[in-house]
Each structure stands twice: as structure tokens, then as C-alpha cells.
Amino acid sequence: MNDKTHDRTAMIVEPQFASVTAEQGPLELECGERLTDVTVCYETWGTLNEERSNAILICHALSGSAHAAGWHDGDDRPGWWHDMIGPGKAFDTDRYFVVCSNVLGGCYGTTGPCSPHPADGRPWGIRFPIVTVRDMVSVQRRLMDLLGIERWFSVAGGSLGGMQALEWAWRYPDRVLSVMPLATSAALSPQGIAFNEVGRQAIMSDPHWNNGDYYDRTQKPDKGLSIARMIGHITYLSDESMMQKFGRRGRALRDFHFGHKEGYHFDVESYLHYKGNQFTQRFDANTYLYVTKAMDLFDLPAEAGSLKSAFRNPRARFLVVSFSSDWLFPPVQSREIVQGLRANLADVTYYEVQSDKGHDAFLIEVDELTQIVRRFLNRVEIKGESHFATTPSKI
Amino acid sequence: MNDKTHDRTAMIVEPQFASVTAEQGPLELECGERLTDVTVCYETWGTLNEERSNAILICHALSGSAHAAGWHDGDDRPGWWHDMIGPGKAFDTDRYFVVCSNVLGGCYGTTGPCSPHPADGRPWGIRFPIVTVRDMVSVQRRLMDLLGIERWFSVAGGSLGGMQALEWAWRYPDRVLSVMPLATSAALSPQGIAFNEVGRQAIMSDPHWNNGDYYDRTQKPDKGLSIARMIGHITYLSDESMMQKFGRRGRALRDFHFGHKEGYHFDVESYLHYKGNQFTQRFDANTYLYVTKAMDLFDLPAEAGSLKSAFRNPRARFLVVSFSSDWLFPPVQSREIVQGLRANLADVTYYEVQSDKGHDAFLIEVDELTQIVRRFLNRVEIKGESHFATTPSKI
């Protein structure tokens, strides 16, 4: 256990991220390559109790960071799950010690393609090895040691974050008291892979991508990254929410010509352009390649032999949540996870939240999610470890 | 009436398209601009009867052409609806005279951005004015005169072709005995607009697009067009059909690095790349911009005041068909068309075909569609004009 653990002052401010970074040393990756130095960037909220039993790990999605809640100097908006994490909120920081770390391959402080290559000090770019959800969880697992935590009270995440939560349940069943995979899947659908691949192609076709080596250039592959983000955004919204939000509102036919800047007919087009451009100011194009690839590669049934085997000997209690209009990670995929759990007689609670917000619902439907999460965490607190821990089903 | 009409030999072969082209003179466009010379490229099958009452107009979708059926010299596959058009087929060329013309703005013989600009003889590029479904139908309407046809026995089309069929019903109710809008919508959803816009951005971001002026260059915006087509393909398939066709099959993790050519993990990725590349060999990038824009702009309720007003005084009989897994033009949009028709007491037959083939189903589900279309055409032949022609509803 590291002394750093108790030094809460170290957790207040760092120049760029107002998060803490910690060196982890080398890491063997699933692809067979080895990273000689891994740095992990994380943030925490609340206080670790004396028993070290109240720690919750929050796993972020594709474009997230360790900055899940609160405000840093210069922020124009708070952390990405600010409405869910804090005093009296779903993840109540008066009761829980909440931890969130940037994923391996990320661009918010944890080692990734924009980190310096140990050989030449220049950014890795696409020399960076392929990383997987398994590797991301390995880094979190070592962070757990650093923080002196024996068992997470809960591991929670939506989308790619939910994949990490599932990986925790499969790989470290003894180190999690409860697990919350939200708006996620045990394996991305070919449709999801296809959307990710088109986004990656948009980035790699941008001449400013320059085979991933653009960090010291004035022009970055912003156009490609922006297109990738636009595609992503369409898949995060639902048809209904787009209809409600934009309908077919737009400008008149006669005001439009191709090739004119900002010449969009429809509000939905302007919105996507705005979102795409905004994204290029805060995200790294190579990280987009690596993290979407990790999402594509995650395949718990393949890794474990089957979904049922992935959850054998379940000690943890599970909360699985899907959202009715989420077509990127549709409810049927959550129900498959639930079936895999029930086949092991696991203690699993499942909600399909009625929402028209699409995949983004896990970030937006705060009221309903707060009730669901709070009730679940209370239940875990009262009941502790699952009774079915040692009686896996023979079904 | 033009003598060309009867000269069937003229319909056999032309150098590039094995289709016929006809000059139409100037055309005022919906955008307010004027084309001084419009050429239309069309193909026909079967024989026009003496009463000139057996002509069916087939309207093609985004990437289609006048070559809807049969084989031309050098074809490696037949026309795009070959399984539906021919002797004994759904559109039985032993009984009907079937016509299909390339849309205005197209790249298969009808005037479009790759046609010569009258001022300088160089391709129009994005100097070409914005064209709409209304303009496309104007060109078809004049082709009708050229062919000496007073009234189409039927106008049929899927997707963008279905929009043209709806436009016929609204603008020329006296010139259509029956109308078949298939897998279409009276107005594209914002989600559909969004996908089209991302495709257009991929094209316009390609440096070889060169502001639409690439026709005399060696390198064309193939990469951008290929990405646009990949996005399109995802929306034409369903999640289920992708799962059945590709699942998560692919190569091993260790064989993959970014930046390596053909380095795709998953079969679904290779398939999309193949389809995207193939498309660049047969389609013009600027046409892709113009035709998707026409699709976005089509808005029958806005044009007519409401869907109900669009179908007032219906003399035609309607066949509306949707496909259960089509999420680009979902069944609910077809049901809205049906409601608008029924509010006018129109004679309308509606089918929702159960299919897992997504939007592409209108090209693939030939057996079911053949039965539906044949039954409908027989009924139109027996019953002729709708009885409700002069009794529009007051509902």
C-alpha cells in the first residue's frame, strides 16, 4: 500500500486536469505488447472510510475522462456525471469514496497515443499498441492497490464504462461487492462496429492525420475527427429525440449552395457541425481510434466461453439498466446480460428505463437513474455479499 | 408527340448507357434557377399498347439509374430491379410498357453536375443548381409527353423513388391511375437528414473534391465518397441482418495495427470498405451531394399544407409498402402516408412486409413484393379509376 493513498492534499490540483496522476510501471497488454511505463490519471470525491469498504469506481465512456464531477479552474461545465456524483446525489459522496480514472489509451492524463514514446520522447501516435477493455481494467486494478482498496463497494459505468464494469465482474469477482453495467453490451453489435469503423476512416482519411503523427503540426485531423463525432452523435440520440429537438426546421431552399461555409439547410445539420467542431477542441483523434477499437473488441462471451461462464460463482450483486430508445446498445443486449447472470442464480436487478433520449439517456435521465442507483446501493449496503456466492447454478 | 416514341430500334443501344437520351430544352427549377438544356436518359421494356394505357413509370432511388432491368454489353450484373421487371415478373413486360429514367442531378445520362455547363463546356460541378424531387418529376412529366403517354398506368418507386411517386400523386393526380410508394416517407426524418449530411461532409472534406471541380483530375474524391457510401450502407441494412451476415467474425487481435492497409479486424468492416470502394467506380461524388440533398428537402406535408391536402381528390389507387426492419424509412412513416390517403377516402392498400433486410428489403424481398405488386396491378386493371375520385372526404 502506498503512502500517497492517505495524502488527500495530493488529490486537489494538478496543472492540466486538476486530477491526480500516478505511475504504475510496466504493463503486459492483451495484444502481447508491453508498455514500460503506465501513468494513470484519476479523481476522487468523498472520503475513504476506515474499513476501506465504501469505495465506488466509476468507469467512463468513449469521450469521458477522470473528471466525472465537480468543477476545475477554467471549466465551462462540470464533470461528465456531475448530476450523479456528489453530496446527496445518486453516488452520495457523504457516504461513498468515489473514484474515476481516465482509460488506458485516453487523452486525459492516462497513458495513450499522445503520451511520449519512451524511446524518442515524441508522442506514440499509432505506434501505440492496441489496448482492450481488459487492459483498461488492469490499470484500474492497480490503481485499486495504490488507493489501498480491497474490494470496490461498486463498479459502475455506462456504454464503454459498462463494458469495464462487466470485465471487473468476470475477472475480479472477489474484488467487487456490486456491479452496475448501464446502457451497455457484453459485445458490441456489428452495426456498432460499423459506425465506429466509419468514424475511424473519416479520421484516417483526413490528410492532416498524417499517419497519426500530427502532434507538432499546426493543423490536426479536426475535420475527420469532427465527422467521426457527428456519426457518433447520431447514434447517441434517438430518432424521436431528434424529431423533438430539431424536427425538419431549417432555412429556405434558395439560401443554400454547396461549398458555402455554414450553408446548412436544417437545424439538425448545424447542431451536428457544432458538436463535431466542439469535440475537436477537447479530444485527440488517435485516442478516438484506439478507444473505439477497444469497444469493438470487447467480447465477454468469447472471452469467457459464454455469457453464463462469464458470471460463474457470482458474489457480486448486479444492477443492469437499459433505456428503451437506445438503439446503439439496445435493451435486448442488457437482457442477454441479465439472462447470463440469472443462469448463475446471481442477484440481479434489471430496469428498462422508458426514455426517448437514446443512448445518451444514461447521462441525461438523472432523476430516474438516481432513484434506481440509490435503492440498489442501499440494498447492497444492507445485504452485503450475495448469498448465492457459492451456489452457482447448474441450469 | 415525337416520332422517336415508336422507333424501338432507337431504344436498343447507346454507347455508354445502352439507354436513350432525349433533349427537353429549358427547365425552371424550384430553387428559382433555370437550366437551359435538360437531357433525360431513359430505358423502356415491353411495348406501349395502342391505347397508350399500359405504361408504368419506375422511379429509382439514390444510387440507381435508368437501367432498371436487363443486361447491357459489359454488365457484370443486370439492372437494379431486374428481378421485378421482365416477362412474367411483377412488372410484367408482356403486359406493360415499363419506363425508367435517370433523375435530374444524376450521373447516368440525365443532366447533372457532371454534365457540361452551357457557358464553358466544362462540367457544372457545384455550379449546378440545387434540384428537388419536384424538379425530378418535372423532367419525368416531360418525358411522358415525349413518349405520348396521357396517363401512367402506375408510378412506382422505393426510397427516393417512392418520394417521386408521391410527388406524382400530389402534382399530377389526373395523370396517374395508380401509385406505389415503397419503403419511403412523405418527409425524411432528421435522423435521415443527419446521415446524409455526414456523408456529404465526408465527400466535401476530401481534398480531392476540390470544391466540386475534379472531373479532369487523376484523383477524385473517392475516399470521401466511399465513406459516404459506407454510412449509407449501414442505414440500408438492419442490425439483425448485419448480425446474421457478419456477426462478430473477424481476424485475431494480434494481426491488427492502425495505418496498415486492409487491416480490418471484423468482416463487417471489410464488407463496408469493399462496398464503398466499389461505389466510387460507378458513381459521381457531386451527384451524391445533389441527390441526397433533394431527398432531405422533400417535404410533402409542407408543400401541400398537410399530408391530407396532398392527396385531396384522389383518382389514383395506392399501394403503400413498408418493411418491418427498415429504420431509415420506418413503417410508421408509411402509415402516416396511409392515414393521409384514408382521410381523403382514397383507395389504398397497405402492407408492412415482415423482413429483417432493413431498408434494402425493397430491392431484396422480391417474392413477397412480386405477389403484392401483381395483385395490386391486376386490381387496377380490373377496376380502373378509383370510385372515390369525385368524393373527397370532409373528415
pLDDT tens, position by position, A181-198: 999 999 999 999 999 999
**Phi, psi at residue A43, to the nearest 5°?**
-130, 155
Q: Supply the pLDDT for residue A6.
A: 37
State the average pLDDT over residues B309-318.
89
Q: How confident is the model at residue A19 (pLDDT cuts 50, 70, 90)?
A: confident
**Annotation marks residue B326 as catalytic:** yes
Count how many Cα atoms sit within 13 Å of the Cα of residue A291 in the half-sphere of its side chain. Answer: 30
Residues B3-190+297-390, CATH architecture: 3-Layer(aba) Sandwich (3.40)
The answer to whether B192 and B214 have CB atoms below 8 angstroms apart is no
Active-site entry in A60, A359, A360, A386: A359
SS3 content of chain A, % helix, strand, coil (to 5): 40, 15, 40
Q: What is the pLDDT of residues A72-106, one digit of tens each?
A: 988 889 999 999 999 999 999 999 999 999 999 99
d(CA A364, CA A374): 16
Q: What is the pLDDT of residues A193-226, one digit of tens each?
A: 999 999 999 999 999 999 999 999 999 999 999 9
State the average pLDDT over residues B153-167.
98
Supply the angle between the helices A285-297 and A222-236 in degrees, to the nearest 10.
40
Q: Supply the pLDDT for residue A387.
A: 58
Percent residues over pLDDT 90 in chain A: 84
Q: Supply the pLDDT for residue B288.
A: 98
State the average pLDDT over residues A256-285.
89
Please, what is the end-to-end C-alpha distance for chain A in angstroms?
A: 41
Q: What is the pLDDT of residues A131-172, one digit of tens each?
A: 999 999 999 999 999 999 999 999 999 999 999 999 999 999
Q: Supply the pLDDT for residue B384.
A: 82
Q: How confident is the model at residue A253 (pLDDT cuts 50, 70, 90)?
A: confident
Q: What is the ipTM metric for this complex? A: 0.92
Q: What is the pLDDT of residues B162-202, one digit of tens each?
A: 999 999 999 999 999 999 999 999 999 999 999 999 999 99
Q: B133 pLDDT exceeds 50?
A: yes
Domain-wise residue ranges, chain A = 3-187+299-387, 192-293
**Annotation marks residue B355 as catalytic:** no
Q: How many CB pairs under 8 A join A and B?
A: 171
Active-site entry in B159, B226, B325, B386: B159
B359 by DSSP, 3-state: which?
helix
Q: Do residue B256 and residue A130 have CB atoms under 8 angstroms apart? A: yes
Amino acid symbol at B69: A
Q: How confident is the model at residue B310 (pLDDT cuts 50, 70, 90)?
A: very high
Question: Which grid coordinates belong to B126?
Answer: 457545384
Q: Do residue B266 and residue A296 have CB atoms under 8 angstroms apart? A: yes
Nearest to A190 among B246, B256, B273 (CB): B246
Distant-in-sequence, close-in-space partners of B261: CB < 8 Å, separation ≥ 6 = none
State the average pLDDT over residues A349-376.
98
Q: What is the pLDDT of residues A1-18, one digit of tens each?
A: 333 343 433 333 333 346
Nearest to B205 among A132, A191, A223 (CB): A223
Q: What is the pLDDT of residues A288-322, one digit of tens each?
A: 999 999 999 999 999 999 999 999 878 899 999 99
Burial of A375 (0-12, 13-18, 19+ CB in 10 A): middle
Closest-CA residue of A relative to B259 is A211
pTM of full prediction above 0.90: yes
Distant-in-sequence, close-in-space partners of A138: CB < 8 Å, separation ≥ 6 = A27, A104
Beta pairing, strands A347-353 & B20-28: unpaired
**Phi, psi at residue A19, to the nearest 5°?**
-125, 170
Q: How far is B80 from chain A (nearest CA, A)?
A: 25
Fold designation for B192-293:
Rna Polymerase Sigma Factor; Chain: A (1.10.1740)
Q: Supply the pLDDT for residue A263.
A: 65
The yes or no reply on domain A3-187+299-387 and CATH 3.40.50.1820 is yes
Q: How confident is the model at residue B205 (pLDDT cuts 50, 70, 90)?
A: very high
Q: Supply the pLDDT for residue B4.
A: 38
d(CA A157, CA A311): 18
Rg (CA), chain A: 21
Q: Which residue has the cell 456519426?
A: A231
Q: A260 pLDDT exceeds 90?
A: no
